[in-house]
């Protein structure tokens, strides 16, 4: 069955430092890997995504890397700012089952 593991569950960094969140998945048929950010009391919103035919994607301070062979992908946030503090979820889309399965989330705290 599908399984997505996300680590760490909490991450505290100093403002300006980098943050890395990692996810692993089980289904090799997975082909779409989005990352969502959820601020306190709000709905999850997409911040970046990557498809299985791409190894890395960047958008300003945010980047995602994908290793299909190892079945893991990571979110990288550089030059962190206090407004980056939120819960981040990785997710995996599987064409075989049409499900969007989420990781358990990472609570990121950026200390001023």
Query: Residues in the site for another protein, rule: CB under 8 A?
Result: 6, 9, 32, 34, 42-46, 49, 89, 91, 93, 98-105
In the complex, least distance from residue 79 CB atom to another protein, rounded to whole angstroms: 25
Instruction: Detail the DSSP E strand segments found in the chain.
Output: 4-7, 10-14, 19-25, 30-38, 45-51, 56-59, 62-67, 72-77, 86-94, 99-102, 106-111
In the complex, least distance from residue 15 CB atom to another protein, rounded to whole angstroms: 25
Residue closer to another protein by CB (options 40, 70) is 40
Residue closer to another protein by CB (options 44, 80) is 44
Residue closer to another protein by CB (options 76, 107) is 107
The reply to whether omega before 78 is within 30° of 0 (cis) is no
Are 34 and 93 in contact by the 8 Å Cβ rule? The answer is yes
In the complex, least distance from residue 44 CB atom to another protein, rounded to whole angstroms: 5
In the complex, least distance from residue 104 CB atom to another protein, rounded to whole angstroms: 4
Residue closer to another protein by CB (options 6, 65) is 6
Report d(CA 100, CA 43) in Å as an integer: 16
According to DSSP, the β-strands at 106-111 and 10-14 are: parallel
């Amino acid at each position: 069955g599908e399984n997505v593991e996300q680590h760490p569950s909490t991450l505290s960094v100093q403002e300006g430092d980098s943050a890395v969140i990692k996810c692993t998945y089980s289904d090799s048929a997975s082909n779409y890997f989005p990352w969502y950010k959820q601020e306190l009391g709000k709905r999850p919103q997409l911040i970046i995504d990557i498809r299985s035919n791409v190894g890395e994607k960047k958008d300003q301070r945010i980047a995602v890397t994908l290793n299909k062979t190892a079945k893991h992908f990571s979110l990288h946030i550089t030059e962190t700012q206090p407004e980056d503090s939120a819960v981040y979820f990785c997710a995996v889309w599987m064409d075989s089952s049409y499900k969007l399965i989420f990781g358990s989330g990472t609570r990121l705290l950026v200390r001023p």
